[in-house]
Amino acid sequence: MHEPVITETTTTDAESAEALLAAAYSEGRVRFESSGDFVFGQRRHDFGELRIDDLRYSFHSEYEMNPLGYALVLRVRDGELGFEDAIGTQRLFRAGDVFLCARPDEGYRAVTRARNAQAVGLDLSLLAQVVEEPVDDVLRRFTRDALPPEQARLWRQTIDYVTAALAGNKTASTSPLVLGAAGRMLAAAMVAAFEARAGEDPNERPGTSAATVRRAVMFLETNPDLDLGVGEVAQACHVSIRALQLAFRRHLDTTPMAYLRRVRLDRARADLRAADPATGATVTAIAARWGFADASRFSAHYRRMYGETPRQTLRR
């Protein structure tokens, strides 16, 4: 993940639009039909392993696209989209629908009358950080239908949060901790939204002992400045991600990432106490240093834990 690169392009030329689509979504065949003025617009937030595109159309189109090499999720905001996946199953998606457009190794065909859509592409490296199985196995369990309302809402809220938190905050968008956390958050949201799994009995899981929690706590207390996800913590403790999560829930009634947030809040508090506002030290900069992209959320967590605002600590 890198600092967001934001580009915006609008064209009234069909050949230029075709070239833009091919560059963004792999080579393939594209055909446009327009009954009026032809307009294509694309606004992209490029984070490296994550790309968020807002698309505007004034035309009907057909696509036959080659495999992308990454997972692509579409959100139809206006109009409708007829979609045929690699095995020939046809589906129709309408405004408000969120669905998995393509797995990384699959081509696809689409007929769109959508006038406004959002496309989100995630590299496999991001998904690999939040699952303990091979990514291909997890992707095969993803639903191909439109998400139910609750899962669709989860996806939309996560996308909107990541975009707002990083695109408009220069300090946060240059913090490796913030960027890494944002990428994993979106990857985890994808798994939570698209994968259906049967429940598991915690008592049948090895690696959920208090000793696992002690090892994890020591690792987190020692390395809060690293860009850590639950996968790295589980690997350091030699247990699965699921076992680590169950261990924290059973023995501490929290999650590994919530515990790490508490450790980072402590470090941020120490920095705020040591900082001198006269030298230009700010709450936003210190929060970003410890992985907090949203200053208001940081302040809320901070006040709930310490009974005062970060600004009050800084000014003392």
Q: What is d(CA 20, CA 11) in angstroms, rounded to the nearest whole number?
A: 10
pLDDT at 198: 38
Residue 103 CB neighbours (<10 A) = 20
Domain edges within the chain: 5-172, 260-315
Nearest by Cα to 314 from 268, 266, 277, 261: 277
> Could you report the per-residue pLDDT of 27-84, keeping only the tens digit for each?
666 676 665 678 888 999 999 999 999 988 877 777 777 788 889 899 998 888 888 7
Check: CB of residue 42 under 8 Å from CB of residue 54. Answer: yes
200: left (phi over 0), alpha (psi -120 to 50) or beta: beta
pLDDT at 52: 93
Give the sign of the dihedral formed by CA 124, CA 127, CA 129, CA 132.
negative
Find the helix or strand (DSSP H, E) in which 90 lies. strand 90-94
Lowest mean pLDDT among 19-33, 52-66, 101-115: 19-33
> Could you report the per-residue pLDDT of 194-244, keeping only the tens digit for each?
875 434 444 445 667 888 898 899 899 989 998 888 988 988 888 888 889
Q: Indicate the pLDDT class of residue 248, thresholds 50, 70 and 90.
A: very high
For the 5-172 domain, the top CATH level (class) is: mainly beta
Matching residue, tokens 């240059």: 174
Lowest mean pLDDT among 6-15, 104-113, 211-220: 104-113
Q: Tell me which architecture the domain covering 260-315 has in CATH.
A: Orthogonal Bundle (1.10)
* pLDDT reading at 287 higher than 60: yes
Name 112's bridge partners: 61, 81
Q: Indicate the pLDDT class of residue 24, thresholds 50, 70 and 90.
A: confident
